[in-house]
Structure 1
Amino acid sequence: MADGWPLVDDRPHAVVIGSGFGGLAAAVRLGARGWRVTVLERLDQPGGRARVHRQDGFTFDAGPTIVTAPHLFEELWTLAGRRMADDVTLVPVDPFYRIRFHDGSTFDCSTDAEAMRAQVRRLSPSDLDGYERFLAFSKELCRVGFEELGAKPFSRVSDMARIAPELVRLKAYRSVHALVAGFVKDERLRQALSFHPLFVGGNPFRASSLYALIAWLERRWGVHYVMGGIGRLVEGLAGLVRGLGGAVRLNAEVERILVENGRATGVKLASGEMIRADVVVSNADSGFTYSRLLAGETRRRWNDQKLNKSSYSMSLFVWRFGTRKHFAELPHHLILMGPRYRGLLDDIFSRKRLAEDFSLYLHRPTATDPSLAPEGCDGFYVLSPVPNLLGGADWTQEAEPYRQRVARFLDQTVMRGFEREIVTSTVTTPLTFRDDFLSPHGAAFGLEPVLTQSAWFRPHNVSEEVQNLFLVGAGTHPGAGLPGVLCSAKILDQVVPHATSLVR
């Protein structure tokens, strides 16, 4: 026996392409349902976009920085017969984040209902009633859009038709910003209550109002930080996969999905190795899955023409840096709004023009977890939404000038003189998303989350092109963000049979 499993393991075999949170969650769920699972990761560490950078004594998360629905992770540990608390320590961050508007005013978001009302009164007393009505509407959106539909497959057009009346009732045809603007008048409050689609790659002026559910989702389950960084969650999930008798192979790049008689039968690696499987689950970007991993196969729906006509999310510029001193006045999460809101978003999503101005998300994890930096030091991650590579910016030339503009903005607003304290620094650009994560056009979140690319209109969890192929992650239903990709894996429980039902 090895790790509790026979030396010859004849359980049905599932191959998972990619070890992002969607892929690891899928592997745990399949392993708990009797499958022998092999996770294949082309990079040298698991996690995908959630990989970890370690340099000069600092630890930096590369991707997600918060956990907003911890029960979805706890489910995975329970399925594996373990307690999440034994492997991972989550701590609530409250306030969730501070929003600093361009005029210098601030708005702290938290779980404290009365504190939130006080924040609204301070900015715009006349909008308090509208804020309360918006929050009630967000709660209903969350109940339907996340709790009821988030982990339901949309494999048939009838699935979409069934919920159409609910979508109309919830005004899903409106944008998040239009919805919010119907409740509050103060422009700062409109920004504070509508920016959430940016968390999942969406434009608040184009994303369906369904994404306004994020405001209540944060209130309902809180915003949490993983001590040691998000990478601890990745390590924990990879451990669950192995504990269930599965394997996580690194430096294993999948070249194509093997298809015989319309069925996925395994994968071929770039090394030439063939791995046979009863089912294949792709956590790769859905556009890459169809255009590259199934290149040469007849695709009825997700052919190259349709993929080329699809709308892709924005990309990101991320600068990670460490300082030799603490900036104790800065919170764990700080959102810095620039001078323009709609104009900047139009530049990013529509004109795909790299603007001179920007809005930023500044992450200071050492405010909660000093272990991520050497003693007396602070670690930072500053993120700027930018156009994807369809805009034509040459990031081999733009990266350093853009970093300098970001640095000047921080110096002029919340971090006076910080550059002389920097001891380590590195950047991520749209080229990283294209080259390391194989995201078409360097889009950081796959297809843009608009209504016509959501639910049934999004690439299905059960592939429309090949039998025994399933999709998880940001590029399929329900979409990007940790809750979304974990729900995409949860859907597999409904569409992939239990391993014991297969006759070997």
Structure 2
Amino acid sequence: MSARRAVVVGGGIAGLATAALLARDEWDVTVLEARDELGGRAGSWERDGFRFDTGPSWYLMPEVFDHFFRLLGTTADRELELVPLDPAYRVYSDPTTRLPPLDVRSGRANAAALFESVEPGAGARLGSYLDSAADAYDLAVTRFLYDTYETTSGLRDPALLRRVPRLAPLLTRSLARHVESRFADPRLRQILEYPAVFLGGSPYGVPSLYHLMSHLDLDEHVLYPRGGFTEVVRAVARLAEASGVRVETGSRVTRILTEAGRATGVELAGGRRIVADLVVSGADLHATETTLLPRELQTYPESWWRSRTPSPGALLLMLGVEGALPQLAHHTLLFAREWRGNFRDIFGRHRRIPDPASLYVCRPSATDAGVAPPGHENLFVLVPVPADPGLGRGGVDGRGDAAVEAAADRVIAQLSAWCGIADLADRIVVRRTVAPGDFAADLGAWRGNALGLAHTLGQSAMFRPRNASRRVEGLAYVGASTLPGIGLPMCLISAELVVKRLRGDRTPGPLPETVRV
């Protein structure tokens, strides 16, 4: 009997993870990536001895990575060199506040001591906050994230129903309201509210259930995979290919082939066709639905997307800098005084690039000498901006659209002023910008968003797009806009959900790890 054949569209982390898991289940798998490199949003760019991650840079939810690698018969420690970060991150406030930077160190005792030093009584309140965050995180992992929602049995579990009185308020109030009823100092509020951005939303729009994110950076440790996040992509690709997966780059899929309501393969640019029993799309969900399928076979047509909320777009700066930058930790956050106004600029009716912006800076050269030439530093800067390709495209050496480069100049000036790096602009020897227009053109991202569908209440858990088409049998979806959501760990889980469906596993938890290592 011949092996079942699967085609995976897209060589991002979700597509590669799905391919690896399918191959372990004895599928014959081909991955087709339109670009010349793998990784998708988790890509890499090199120039003049600098190597930049172009996407994810926070290694959180380590147990999800551990579980995934064990499903493939190995471990995260075997495949990656993981380095704990201390401090986990540094926070700068608007200089008009005259407040010193804060170093946030992971671990309950460290976090409580920091909060208490800023606001008397906040340390004890943080303890109960993190107890609740840990409980919510456990609930998410054991009940929500690994559920395909093919049935409601997981939601009707008596153990879950007993927690409804505690759960309901977390779903009906915003993260900002949850935090601000407990803490008064604006810096502490910002530390607890900023994780909403990692979920593609605003603290004023995501439900307070997502305070669980603070369990990850304050209770647990923030790690860094030496070599950067491209090493995570390489590890998954390596394991997939070792299991027999064929990976083809430069292979753009233009159509999903169907017959009698069933996926039968794909057609590539140039007319080549590949026959398959299963098609898995890890491409942008909007692009998959609206460009690869005819209207009558779309589960999520254009009309569906009109009422949905994208994550923010992003203005990215990749800067190679001469000399040392001790003012910056591996992870540094700059928080604007006009906090609510920043989010209104991004998500409100009159959208614009915030100025000054709340932004994130990664300095991997603080931990990893291999990402920059000797005597230089590597900076990756992310500025949340509206999801709007009309904001323009970036470029190398200032050759992006004028508005994008002007915004990048303002960000560099802000970094210089807020962090005390007076000559920063003069020390930049490599510069590249990326903007929402690039996300739309290069990744097919809906409205140029940077992360996927935002985690609003109506776009989370059972309300998020499922991992299988309702109109086309044998067509599955993975990635940041499907279950369970945004981020590398979520993409690994989305791959597992495809396999769970194929196996007929409707339990709410992760797959059993049959191989122990």
Instruction: Indicate whether the TM-score tops 0.5.
Output: yes
Looking at structure 2, the residues matched to 335 and 323 of structure 1 have their Cα atoms a distance apart, in angstroms, of 19
TM-score (norm 2): 0.90
Post-superposition Cα deviations, 1:113-142, rounded to whole Å, max 9, x if no partner, equal 222111111211132332222111111110
Aligned-pair CA distance for 1:365: 0.2
> CA, structure 1 residues 214+437, in 2 after alignment: closer, same or farther (shift >3 Å)?
same
Looking at structure 2, the residues matched to 145 and 83 of structure 1 have their Cα atoms a distance apart, in angstroms, of 23
Aligned-pair CA distance for 1:369: 0.3
Q: Give the match for residue 404 of structure 1.
A: 409
> CA, structure 1 residues 98+47, in 2 after alignment: closer, same or farther (shift >3 Å)?
same
Looking at structure 1, the residues matched to 240 and 195 of structure 2 have their Cα atoms a distance apart, in angstroms, of 32
Post-superposition Cα deviations, 1:247-283, rounded to whole Å, max 9, x if no partner, equal 1110111112112111112111122111111111111
Correspondences of 1:83-482 after superposition (within 5 Å):
83-102=75-94, 103=97, 104-156=99-151, 166=163, 169-170=166-167, 171-219=170-218, 221-299=220-298, 301-351=299-349, 352-389=351-388, 392-395=390-393, 396-414=401-419, 415-482=421-488
Conserved in 1, the CA contact under 8 Å of 2:36 and 2:250?
A: yes
Q: Name the aligned partner's letter for residue 441 of structure 1.
A: R
Q: Give the match for residue 66 of structure 1.
A: 58
Looking at structure 2, the residues matched to 39 and 347 of structure 1 have their Cα atoms a distance apart, in angstroms, of 39
Aligned-pair CA distance for 1:174: 1.3
Q: Name the aligned partner's letter for residue 194 of structure 2.
A: F
Post-superposition Cα deviations, 1:146-190, rounded to whole Å, max 9, x if no partner, equal 343211112356766776885663221211111112222222211
Aligned-pair CA distance for 1:413: 1.3
> CA, structure 1 residues 226+360, in 2 after alignment: closer, same or farther (shift >3 Å)?
same
Q: Which runs of 5+ in 2 are unaligned?
A: 394-400, 505-517
Deviates more, 1:452-461 or 1:162-171: 162-171
Q: Name the aligned partner's letter for residue 139 of structure 1.
A: A
> CA, structure 1 residues 488+115, in 2 after alignment: closer, same or farther (shift >3 Å)?
same
Q: Name the aligned partner's letter for residue 196 of structure 2.
A: P
> CA, structure 1 residues 389+72, in 2 after alignment: closer, same or farther (shift >3 Å)?
same
Conserved in 2, the CA contact under 8 Å of 1:313 and 1:349?
A: no
> CA, structure 1 residues 93+147, in 2 after alignment: closer, same or farther (shift >3 Å)?
farther
What secondary structure sits across from 2:415 in the alignment?
helix
Deviates more, 1:445-454 or 1:242-251: 445-454
What secondary structure sits across from 2:171 in the alignment?
coil
Deviates more, 1:79-88 or 1:203-212: 79-88
TM-score (norm 1): 0.92
Post-superposition Cα deviations, 1:196-220, rounded to whole Å, max 9, x if no partner, equal 0101211111011122111113345
> CA, structure 1 residues 166+434, in 2 after alignment: closer, same or farther (shift >3 Å)?
farther
The count of corresponding residues between Structure 1 and Structure 2 is: 488
Conserved in 1, the CA contact under 8 Å of 2:391 and 2:435?
A: no
Aligned-pair CA distance for 1:338: 1.2
Conserved in 2, the CA contact under 8 Å of 1:160 and 1:456?
A: no
> CA, structure 1 residues 74+133, in 2 after alignment: closer, same or farther (shift >3 Å)?
closer
Q: Give the match for residue 6 of structure 1.
A: none
What secondary structure sits across from 1:99 in the alignment?
strand
Taking every aligned residue pair, what percent have the same amino acid on both sides?
A: 34
Conserved in 1, the CA contact under 8 Å of 2:392 and 2:403?
A: yes
Aligned-pair CA distance for 1:402: 0.3
Looking at structure 1, the residues matched to 173 and 470 of structure 2 have their Cα atoms a distance apart, in angstroms, of 28
Could you say what the CA RMSD is over the residues aligned between the two structures, in angstroms?
A: 2.0
Q: Name the aligned partner's letter for residue 401 of structure 1.
A: A
What secondary structure sits across from 1:125 in the alignment?
coil
Aligned-pair CA distance for 1:107: 3.1
Post-superposition Cα deviations, 1:344-374, rounded to whole Å, max 9, x if no partner, equal 1011012322233211101100000011111
> CA, structure 1 residues 349+146, in 2 after alignment: closer, same or farther (shift >3 Å)?
farther
> CA, structure 1 residues 160+286, in 2 after alignment: closer, same or farther (shift >3 Å)?
farther
Q: Give the match for residue 3 of structure 1.
A: none
Looking at structure 1, the residues matched to 39 and 165 of structure 2 have their Cα atoms a distance apart, in angstroms, of 37
Moved over 4 A (4+): 156-168
Q: Give the match for residue 511 of structure 2.
A: none
Looking at structure 2, the residues matched to 286 and 109 of structure 1 have their Cα atoms a distance apart, in angstroms, of 36
Conserved in 1, the CA contact under 8 Å of 2:112 and 2:124?
A: no
Looking at structure 2, the residues matched to 474 and 434 of structure 1 have their Cα atoms a distance apart, in angstroms, of 15
Deviates more, 1:237-246 or 1:440-449: 440-449
> CA, structure 1 residues 221+35, in 2 after alignment: closer, same or farther (shift >3 Å)?
farther
